[in-house]
Amino acid sequence: MSVSSDPAMVLVVEDEFITGNDIQNSLLDMGYRVPLVIDNGPEAILKTGELHPDVVLMDITLRGKMSGIEAALRIKNDLGIPVIFLTANSDESTIDKAILSEPFGYIIKPFDSRSLRISIEMARYKHTMDRELRESEERYRGFVENFLGIAFRYNPDFSVVFLHGSTEPITGFREAEFMSGTLSWESILHPDDAARVLEKNLEIQKSREYSGSREYRILRKDGEVRWIFELIQKVPATSFSPSYIQGACYDITDRKNAEDAIRVANRKLNLLNNITRHDILNTVHGLLGLLEMAQDIVRDPAAMLILNDMQVSTQQIQRQIAFTRNYQDVGVKAPVWQGVHACIERATRAISHDRITISVTVDKNLEIFADPLVEKVFYNLIDNALRYGETIREIRFYAEPRDHGLVLVCEDDGVGISAPDKERIFEQCVGKNTGMGLFLSREILMITGMAVQECGEPGTGARFEILVPAGSWRLKGL
């Protein structure tokens, strides 16, 4: 127990002048500040409010009508200053009355300096602890009362220990209804989600510890459907406490409704795109047929050159329109965990690569969190190597750790990419085909925070590095 660097102030309230002076001198000798000795209750209350002492030493019997017990009660309730009673009365009746004012100490006269000092320091320590506890409770209460979600704790069998926060605004039910056991959280689960949630609950119950999140629907008291996002954790038992389940729930109905609206809008846009693309391709197909017919009729060399240029341009339009079909869903669907090895294998099978070896030494358990179109990224890297590698004989895919993240490497043994073109190849409309492949590949990767760059040495082959940040890759099953 330690005394603060500043000497504590003690206010002495004692009706006997000589005793009061003796107490004041003893306290001064101990290093306390004692501004004055008061002999009545009203003045004691007044001076305590003015001086804000650390401790008040209060005699139970005072001059005037107000007793020390009454004065102590006023000081405690109005000012929050700790009071220690000094009295020569040790009878049970007096002590019972004094206890009602919740003093921080009770000293029977006569007393020695050591007992007095210990009582004062204990009172100061207890007062400090009580104040910090009250402040902590106020902070907690303020957090809970303004918490927009529901903080919960369950027993291992998912019976409710407590629910705090916006329980009634989210569910329509009061916390007391859950706490009493007459209502369970499982009973308000949406019928279409209940089996899945309860199955996961059984898994959590059987596990020693668990941490995760999930989304599901509940039915409010008024029958309205609400979407819930839940963070849940099972804390294992220790030698001091049993196991329990804790977490927080949030109402994400507005977010889900917005996502649904976006999905509907995207579906309509894609339908419009498909219809428009179909009509344009039909028109282009007809135009190519007319050009072929014209080439069969025209004999003028100059006109034939023009027709050939028109045919090449029309075929380019045809490729670009077809290209938009493959990439119309970029960023439309939510990112998911995908096996890298499987994505590369599918991309390899989708492209002709006669006489070129493609080796994949990526761990089959490696997954990345990416847009569903990430397979197109690997397709474009292979396609880019085949188109521009010239002397290429091999394409290699592998992974290596770097700075807490991961690098997926695609390299070949072709002619490589010149220094001025290393960044330009990721721009729109650069290249011999549509000029959009690598540009859209970078856009697909950026959706989940990944990046791609070309780091090869010109003349020795291209080397594309996909930088996967920590948290966006994992080994499945570990």
Class of the CATH domain delimited by 10-139: alpha beta
Task: Evaluate if residue 5 carries a pLDDT over 60.
Answer: no
Average pLDDT over residues 395-419: 92
Average pLDDT score, the chain: 86
Average pLDDT over residues 271-296: 83
- What is the pLDDT, as a whole number, of residue 333? 78
Task: Sort strands 394-402 and 357-360 into parallel, antiparallel or unpaired.
Answer: parallel
Pair 61, 87: CB distance under 8 Å: yes
- Pick 320 or 155 by higher pLDDT: 155
Distance CA 474, CA 367 (A): 5
Distance of CA 297 to the CA centre of its chain: 70
- Domain 150-251: CATH architecture, name and number where available: 2-Layer Sandwich (3.30)
What tokens were used for 201?
A: 């609950």
Confidence of residue 2 (pLDDT cuts 50, 70, 90): very low
Average pLDDT over residues 401-425: 90
Residues in the chain: 478
Class of the CATH domain delimited by 336-475: alpha beta
- What is the pLDDT, as a whole number, of residue 92? 66
Confidence of residue 91 (pLDDT cuts 50, 70, 90): low
Average pLDDT over residues 248-262: 88
Task: Evaluate if residue 3 carries a pLDDT over 50.
Answer: no
Residue indicated by tokens 């007992």: 115
Which residues on neighbouring strands pair with residue 360, listed in sequence order? 397
Task: Evaluate if residue 191 carries a pLDDT over 90.
Answer: yes
Three-state SS letters, the chain = CCCCCCCCEEEEECCCHHHHHHHHHHHHHCCCECCCEECEHHHHHHHHHHHCCCEEEEECCCECCCCHHHHHHHHHHHHCCCEEEEECCCCHHHHHHHHCCCCCEEEECCCCHHHHHHHHHHHHHHHHHHHHHHHHHHHHHHHHHHCCCEEEEECCCCCEEEEEECHHHHHCCCHHHHHCCCCCCHHHECHHHHHHHHHHHHHHHHCCCEEEEEEEEEECCCCCEEEEEEEEEEECCCCCCCCEEEEEEEECHHHHHHHHHHHHHHHHHHHHHHHHHHHHHHHHHHHHHHHHHHHHHCCCHHHHHHHHHHHHHHHHHHHHHHHHHHHCCCCCCCCEEEEHHHHHHHHHHCCCCCCCEEEECCCCCEEEEECCCHHHHHHHHHHHHHHHCCCCCEEEEEEEEECCEEEEEEEECCCCCCCCHHHHCCCCCCCCCCCCHHHHHHHHHHCCCCEEEECCCCCCCCEEEEEECCCCEEECCC
Confidence of residue 327 (pLDDT cuts 50, 70, 90): low
Pair 478, 365: CB distance under 8 Å: yes
Distance CA 27, CA 406 (A): 69
- What is the pLDDT, as a whole number, of residue 1? 42
Long-range contacts of 167-173 (CB under 8 A, 24+ apart): 169/251, 170/220, 170/226, 170/228, 170/249, 170/251, 171/218, 171/220, 171/221, 171/226, 172/220, 172/221, 172/222, 172/224, 173/221
Task: Evaluate if residue 136 carries a pLDDT over 90.
Answer: no
- Whole-number percent of the chain with pLDDT over 90: 38
pTM for this entry: 0.51
- Whole-number percent of the chain with pLDDT over 70: 90
Gyration radius from the chain CA atoms: 40
Domain ranges of the chain: 10-139, 150-251, 257-327, 336-475
